[in-house]
Structure 1
């Protein structure tokens, strides 16, 4: 017990030393990571010149209200702690550009986060969040959102207002549908919605002209809309482990597609148009009930660095490498 108390006192003493130094020398960056802190000392409020505060990998359970006094803060890192809620006062940090609360125990997002008008990066993955407030749609400068590995059941239409968003991760949640509004995210380059409960892909996703990576693996999707053929900048498309029965011919228009994963679906036929995708290097059709090797699939071999096809019934497997990585 005494050893534990001594260790606690040592880490707190180390933290206080750094805080005092930051206050006296008017430092702009303070790193208090990996110190085993259970709470943020109130003396932190004296560090008014701070623009970056790093507190990752501690044992902090709550964000104190006095953090609102750090008005110059631009980056706040509380990754990997034990925080259960986000205080309303965080919405007062108007200069904040990056907020990292990944891997905590947060249940909800307060509406006041919608006041962080300068925020560009928001990391809330691996928490216990059940819903996304409409107010997040007000964060017009956001470029990246990570809300993966939560318990979210729906995506608000308001997220379609985030015109500067380039990356959106909502993987490993309980989402059942994709709102049409996401089609308005004209700058989006990466969209990950894997491991959810999504049953269909809206035609509106075909409007995401800058999208390069789309991951909808491990859902309950039964069909691919023709509109996905409009995604001319797409390089990676992962639709593995769904219930898809056919590949639309329009996907032959994906002139920049490099990797296409359709592993573990219900596909029986490969359209000839896929052989027109000269950029394609990897096509995975393993675990599909293809009854015969179609001529189109055979011709695709010429363009691919790796072609894997698992054929139910006749147990045919094709694998060809044109050059080594």
Structure 2
């Protein structure tokens, strides 16, 4: 009986030892299985980082990351190791999003992601207090976060051709250094109020939208010298546009304008104005001073573009108004 008990005890010990070995083997295999993707991920990060380093250039004393016409739909997390980069130039890569770790690039001066598939501006971008240029034209951005107002050094903002973009947050009016704004080819039906509050705004393109009117206080943009309003649905201009003393270029082609405000006659700084392709009430043609046919063609072109056409239109409108008034007085 004792022998049987010893034999059973030996078998149990062997079985326990064997099960322990099997369990350890399985644990080792599981640990190895866990480590394998980590090693693969680490290798991929190293490869991606090496590839990114090949895209670094020094230009005008700046460290620039330049990627063009290569597929980079997502920027890898290892990019954060290149946080000293001062300029991103990433075009035609199919990039779908701006990484949230963008806030780690505190030295960034220029962020140019034009012609990609970016659909969102992350709120973290507001941490980039040194950023001077944000260029996101030809993407799919429908919304601009209020946090962008944190980019206090911003001088240039380009959001052309984002299609569904139709408003800007009022908070952007605090960007005291913003000089250049491109909102062309979007879906704006009115001029964003924040633009009127920008004290340094000098250049604005909001052509190719759905503007039906301009604000009466448009003259608040005191520093503005260039205003592009082509291909909108404007039917009239506010008289206060004549109070824009710095304005020297005004493009109004392909709208629905019926008349030109007489007060615009006093815009002495205006050098270039374009009223082409508007259903203006009066048919006015400048007299040609050229004899050569080609030069006459240039003159015909100029009359629709230049300030002279505007002045003659206003003068002709005034003459006709006087004539109508005189006829009215005689009839009385």
TM-score by structure 1 length? 0.70
| Unaligned stretches of 5+ residues in structure 2 | 1-44, 302-332
| In structure 2, distance between residues paired with 1:180 and 1:139 | 22
Q: Cα 1:180–1:15, aligned 2, differ >3 Å: closer, same or farther? A: farther
| Residues 99-108 or 204-213, more deviating | 204-213
- Choose the corresponding residue for 2:237, options 176, 197, 201: 201
- Choose the corresponding residue for 2:289, options 277, 295, 301: 301
What is the Cα deviation at residue 132 of structure 1? 2.1
| In structure 2, distance between residues paired with 1:175 and 1:151 | 9
Partner of 2:101: 66
Checking the alignment, whether the CA contact within 8 Å between 2:48 and 2:78 is kept in structure 1 is no
| Unaligned stretches of 5+ residues in structure 1 | 1-11, 246-266, 271-284, 286-296, 310-325
Partner of 1:77: 112
**What SS is found at the alignment partner of 2:300?**
strand
1:1-325 to 2 correspondences below 5 Å: 16-20=49-53, 28-128=63-163, 129-245=165-281, 267-268=282-283, 270=284, 285=285, 297-298=286-287, 301=289, 306-308=298-300
What is the Cα deviation at residue 32 of structure 1? 2.1
What is the Cα deviation at residue 66 of structure 1? 0.9
- Deviations for 1:291-322, whole angstroms, at most 9, x for unmatched residues? xxxxxx43x5369863329xxxxxxxxxxxxx
Q: Cα 1:49–1:13, aligned 2, differ >3 Å: closer, same or farther? A: closer
| Residues 28-37 or 121-130, more deviating | 28-37
- Deviations for 1:39-96, whole angstroms, at most 9, x for unmatched residues? 1111111112111111112101111101111111110010000011111111111110
**What SS is found at the alignment partner of 1:55?**
strand
- Deviations for 1:7-26, whole angstroms, at most 9, x for unmatched residues? xxxxx998632534689x9x
- Deviations for 1:107-156, whole angstroms, at most 9, x for unmatched residues? 11111112211100001001121212212211111111000001111113
- What is the count of residue pairs matched by the alignment? 249
Q: Cα 1:60–1:112, aligned 2, differ >3 Å: closer, same or farther? A: same
| In structure 2, distance between residues paired with 1:195 and 1:151 | 12
Q: CA RMSD in A?
A: 2.6
The structure with more radius of gyration: 2
What is the Cα deviation at residue 173 of structure 1? 0.6
What is the Cα deviation at residue 201 of structure 1? 0.6
| In structure 1, distance between residues paired with 2:263 and 2:151 | 35
Q: Cα 1:308–1:22, aligned 2, differ >3 Å: closer, same or farther? A: closer
| In structure 1, distance between residues paired with 2:269 and 2:122 | 40
What is the Cα deviation at residue 35 of structure 1? 1.8
| Residues 55-64 or 300-309, more deviating | 300-309
Q: Cα 1:204–1:45, aligned 2, differ >3 Å: closer, same or farther? A: same
